[in-house]
Amino acid sequence: MTAGALAKAEVLAEALPYIRRFWGKTVVVKYGGNALAADKGAAGAPETGPETGPETGPAAAGGATPLQSFAEDIVLMCSVGMRPVVVHGGGPQIGALMDRLGKVPEFRDGLRVTDAETLDIARMVLVGKVNREIVSAINVHGALAVGLSGEDANLIRAAARPGGLGFVGDVEVVDPTILERLLSQGLIPVVATIGADAAGQAYNINADTVAGAIAVSLGAEKLVFLTDVDGLRADPSDPASLVRTASAGELELMVERGVAGAGMAPKARACAQAVRGGVGHAHILDGRVPHALLLEIFTDEGVGTMVTK
């Protein structure tokens, strides 16, 4: 037996107890638009809008793009009995289309002001482009992924966020019925973060917030955020200050003290609210690491920051 074959066998043996533990469990994974920007060779924009997501960096090991690597992880999780749900953003793609259309974006407190035209652009990009690309990448491996938005089957009931931001929304209620139906059939829901109010008016919603709310509504075992740093740091400028584990209270205190920057704060808040709402654990991982999801879920060491109640 070669050393490589033995190493693979040891990895599988290490994964076995985790496979048994998470069989039938729901895992919500937040995946963002910068990953797709990296796949296309485009520069990812900063995560400042309500619809933005993680930057997953260069191609993964073996020549796979970040999206291909992510899709493989999601399919493997499904294949060993887990119930993954993907929630995604698409800020760089929205910004790129606005640029091509000659529309100048406006931001307030890090959130994109969304007038009617910008909302149309966001819906086209999130539902018609980013969602389709993620679904297609997963379905290379079989007829598994189903794309939808928060408008479908009243999945996300939204309300306008105060502050004169236009059609930027907050999550009011999540009805997970459509997700449960898809999961019960062994399918993988891929959710674009557009919601609607009782009158049918659409709103663009922060994808981190949506991922946390969906995880709570499903009673998920795990909520995972893939981002462009190795996790939450006690000192954002010092990689050696990575926080391996934190309670919800400790996380909230870090946000209050400004330790979590503008891009990390929504993720930190969503993690804290999720575990307080019944989610088993929340994780903030470096999505640039090939197969970061598998490393976190199926190995003893794990990667990134884990949040507990």
Does 259 or 38 have the greater pLDDT score? Answer: 259
Does 143 or 9 have the greater pLDDT score? Answer: 143
- Does residue 230 register a pLDDT over 50? yes
Q: What distance in Å separates the CA atoms of residue 288 and residue 111, rounded to the nearest whole number? A: 24
| Cβ atoms of residues 262 and 110 within 8 Å | yes
pLDDT at 21: 93
Q: Find tokens 């050696």 and name the residue.
A: 240
Residue 3 resides in a domain: no
> Which class for 111: exposed (0-12), middle (13-18), buried (19 or more C-beta within 10 A)?
buried
pLDDT at 101: 94
| Cβ atoms of residues 179 and 190 within 8 Å | no
Residue 1 resides in a domain: no
Closest CA to 179 of 212, 154, 143, 202: 154
What is the domain-level CATH number for residue 111? 3.40.1160.10
pLDDT at 49: 47
pLDDT at 45: 40
Give the domain range for residue 245: 21-308
- Distances from the Cα of 111 to the Cα of 46, 167, 191, angstroms: 11, 11, 20
- Does residue 3 register a pLDDT over 80? no
Task: Tell me the chain's radius of gyration from C-alpha atoms.
Answer: 18
pLDDT at 52: 43
pLDDT at 197: 97
pLDDT at 124: 95
Any residues with CB less than 8 A from the CB of 39 and at least 6 apart, and which?
65, 66, 67
Q: What distance in Å separates the CA atoms of residue 224 and residue 10, rounded to the nearest whole number? A: 25
Residue 278 resides in a domain: yes
Count how many domains the chain has.
1
Residue 34 resides in a domain: yes
- Does residue 141 register a pLDDT over 50? yes
- Does residue 289 register a pLDDT over 80? yes
pLDDT band with cut points at 50, 70 and 90 for residue 119: very high
pLDDT band with cut points at 50, 70 and 90 for residue 268: very high
Tell me what the mean pLDDT of segment 277-286 comes to.
94
Residue 13 resides in a domain: no
| Cβ atoms of residues 296 and 304 within 8 Å | yes
Tell me what the mean pLDDT of segment 186-207 comes to.
96
Number of Cβ within a 10 Å radius of residue 231: 20
| Region label for 290, one of left (φ > 0), alpha (ψ between -120 and 50) or beta (otherwise) | beta
Q: Find the range with the poorest average confidence among 18-27, 180-189, 234-243.
A: 234-243
Q: ∠ at Cα 251 (307, 224), nearest 5°?
A: 35
Dihedral sign, Cα of residue 27, residue 58, residue 303, residue 277: negative
Tell me what the mean pLDDT of segment 102-121 comes to.
88
pLDDT band with cut points at 50, 70 and 90 for residue 236: confident
pLDDT band with cut points at 50, 70 and 90 for residue 177: very high
Any residues with CB less than 8 A from the CB of 178 and at least 6 apart, and which?
148, 152, 153, 155, 189
- Does residue 170 register a pLDDT over 70? yes
H helix runs in the chain, sequence order:
3-22, 33-39, 66-79, 91-100, 116-125, 131-139, 177-184, 207-218, 248-256, 265-276, 292-298
Q: Find the range with the poorest average confidence among 30-39, 101-110, 183-192, 248-257.
A: 30-39
Q: What distance in Å separates the CA atoms of residue 283 and residue 147, rounded to the nearest whole number? A: 24
Residue 188 resides in a domain: yes
| Cβ atoms of residues 175 and 216 within 8 Å | no
Q: What distance in Å separates the CA atoms of residue 157 and residue 202, rounded to the nearest whole number? A: 9
- Mean pLDDT of all residues belonging to the chain: 87
* Residue pLDDT, tens place only, 295-308: 889 887 778 899 99
pLDDT at 287: 81
Beta strand pairing call for 26-31 and 83-88:
parallel
pLDDT at 208: 93
pLDDT at 107: 83
Residue 12 resides in a domain: no
pLDDT at 12: 80
Q: What distance in Å separates the CA atoms of residue 11 and residue 219, rounded to the nearest whole number? A: 29
pTM recorded for the entire structure: 0.89
Residue 269 resides in a domain: yes
* Residue pLDDT, tens place only, 47-91: 444 544 333 344 444 567 888 999 999 999 999 999 999 999 888
- Does residue 155 register a pLDDT over 60? yes
pLDDT at 65: 84
Q: ∠ at Cα 194 (179, 95), nearest 5°?
A: 135
Q: What distance in Å separates the CA atoms of residue 232 and residue 86, rounded to the nearest whole number? A: 21
Any residues with CB less than 8 A from the CB of 166 and at least 6 apart, and which?
113, 114, 115, 116, 118, 119
| Secondary structure class of 79 (helix, strand, coil) | helix
